[in-house]
Chains A and B, each alone.
Chain A
Amino acid sequence: MRYFLLLLVVMTGTAFSAEQSDVTVKAKPAAETTVICASPQEPTYTPPVNKVTSSPKSESLLTETSNVHITVYGQGVAPMTTTSPAQAYALAKRAAIADAYRLIAEKVKGVRVEGQDTIKNMIVKRSMVRTHVDAMIRQANIIETTFKDGLCEVEMEIVLSRSQFAL
């Protein structure tokens, strides 16, 4: 009788633990579902981060021993009301030189950019972008000038050395 009772207790315990394990197995998918629908605060999924790395080979740096050569190509157009091809060339060259100076200033000093978009009823009504360049440039050299079909192109170069920026 005593052994029977002990056997009964053992069997009941085993059945209870089996029932408990069944619940656990059934609850597992539910737990997974909860994880998927978890709130964003929980650190469940981390997207891969693309690290932006600069490529030093493509950029020339200003060092104590090496200078930086900046070459630009300015373009200018001859006005429609010119009396001779020589005048057209001269005027187009003036415009091209100013454009080349502008390009050098953009590269050396930078550009100030301002933008404004007006949107009404989810439709862009007006889009405006303003850029501004303001600089003093010294010792720029004209390398080559070409004139073809009313378009003058001036190749201009400036050499930057570290000593120019040293205090």
Chain B
Amino acid sequence: MRSRDGDRPLTLTICALIFLPHLWADEYIISYRAVVRDAIIVDEKLNVSRAMQKCEGRHTTSILLETGGSDDLHQIIAREHDTFFSLMQQSALHIDHHEKNIDATNQSHTILTMPPQCFTVDINQDLAKITALK
């Protein structure tokens, strides 16, 4: 069986379509920080930036997020935060909690942080595949 445009076999085209996106997938450094004070979230920050150096490590867990027509990874993750959080949970999250009780009055301050970590992101028209690197 041959492809429509000539001599190139269709199998080669299919293989290229499957494997090349993995080679050309963009790498992003993503970090997350949430500040909770007295059981109420007061600050949340998701930092997304392209990796300026090639990330090293093997691919681990992947998730698929709907892009909703956007190619901005920050928006895509913010739209489906819960799904992305399940991916974050697989990597290490840092918890820093301070609680102060002065004369029977309680104050608590919790910071949940995901340190900057490399993810490979492959955005198609409808879906974005995000894979954690370890």
Contacts and interface: CB of A to CB of B under 8 A. Distances in A.
Interface of A: 75-79, 90-95, 97-99, 101-102, 105, 126-142
B90 A99 contact: no
Contact of A135 (B36, B89, B94, B103): B94
8 contacts: A91-B40, A92-B41, A94-B44, A101-B112, A126-B103, A139-B90, A140-B89, A141-B89
Given A76-B39, A79-B41, A128 B95 contact: no
A138 B92 contact: yes
B102 A128 contact: yes
B97 interface: yes
A98 B91 contact: no
B94 A94 contact: no
Contacts, number: 91
A114 B17 CA distance: 60
Given A77-B40, A95-B40, A101-B112, A136 B81 contact: no
A98 B95 contact: yes
Contacts of A91: 40-41
Nearest to B38: A77
B4 interface: no
Which of B81, B82, B93 has its CB near the most chain A CB atoms (within 10 A)?
A: B93
B93 A101 contact: yes
A13 B76 CA distance: 117
Interface in B61-117: 81-82, 85-86, 89-104, 110, 112
A99 B39 contact: yes
A76 B36 CA distance: 9
Given A94-B41, A95-B39, A140-B89, A127 B102 contact: yes
B95 A105 contact: yes
